[in-house]
Structure 1
Amino acid sequence: MTFSSRPLAVFDIDGTLVDSRASIHRAACEAARDMGLPEPDYDRVRMIVGLSLDHAMAVLEPGLDAEGLARFVAGFRASFNRMYAEGHEEPLYDGAMDHLRRLHRDGWRLALATGQNRRGVARNLARQGWAEIFLSSHCAEDGPGKPDPAMLHAAMAACNADPASTVMIGDTAHDATMAVKAGVLPLGVAWGFHTAEEQIAGGARHVAKSFGELNVVLDGFARSYA
């Protein structure tokens, strides 16, 4: 099989491109409150971001039985549905859209790999310009969630890429571990849910402190790959 000569950048969404820190914490707190559970602090919530929702909520409240977990997951979703009904939309991080446009203009292929469900992915692809920029999108509803490498394997297949030409860019150790398992370059960003140290422990080769720094790292990868 002949692969494309253009590099592929696969992006996480929450905490990498979109600032969903406040809304995810709010939804977890509202879901817990509805069930009479203590509201989790932000530090507990941030550690489960990126996992599929069922897995994430089970990690957050490991003592729940199957029925309780189903209610907890439903409560989390209901909280987000209320937010969206009120017109809420998580903002992009400053510089995110310019960064994506710049990569697209420079010939990179772009894809998404996220712990969101398909409905959440569709909501994000409705953002101005996203549907034209991203060649494919992959989420936990499509199969195993992070840190299983299934989403990255699917992204490479959809974009005619191999591991040597692919970079995974995320903000959590789950993203980095997924990348390592898929044999692609794991890169992190410092402005999301996990610390740089946590991401490096998960396998991240570099954690960028800005989109400008990320551009430099990706330029170096593109040169070495070419």
Structure 2
Amino acid sequence: MLGKIANINPDGKYTKAKRYGNYENFLQKSFDSNFFPRDSIVFSSAAVFLSKIGWYLNEVKNHSKDKIHLNFIIDEIEFSADIDLVGFTVSSRQLLGMIKKSASSQKVIKTFVKVSVRKLFYLEDEIMIREMSGIKKLFEKIDQLKMEGNFDKYDSFAFNNLLDGIQSEVEEDFIFILSGLYTFIEKLKKYESMKSYKFIDDKKSAVIIENIVTAYE
């Protein structure tokens, strides 16, 4: 599973984090030309926005006419998401995949985490660069479990404790991610008629860990 995916500090501080790519590098990458032409002014606006918030975009493609797949890097963590433009308001949750590598005893551990996050549709042009301190702490706690394999939320009681003590930081990180993600898509003129939307509260936790896969490289 990790092979298929590979192609894809405290207080949640806002800082001038390292930038992974600039506007020129973004435009030189290979993207779906049917989705947004390389010389599009709209595309340029979206690219400049990502550059401002320090995100590096690996891939953008549409699975179908109304579904977008994005793969991007924030603060050395790789994220992936599928956005259903037509059914966007049907579900109140957004699935996100995350990949992080860490070194342990001269080995490299690759960890994939899939999370379900309560949607927050808030478009914001002036987003500050943010370190993923809460999410990094989550990966550290997973590393401490020293587990290897594929686990879902029903496999282990440990899943229930992974967010203990870091819940608010992790939630703040994902608020930042969703705001940046949806603002980027809006700049591609995919949400032309909607600037804000309040989703129905599903009474579940704001962040739910669905799946964890770990393996040594």
**TM-score of the two chains, using structure 2 as the length reference:** 0.27
The structure with the largest strand share of the pair is: 2
Where is the helix percentage greater, Structure 1 or Structure 2? 1
TM normalised by structure 1 equals 0.26
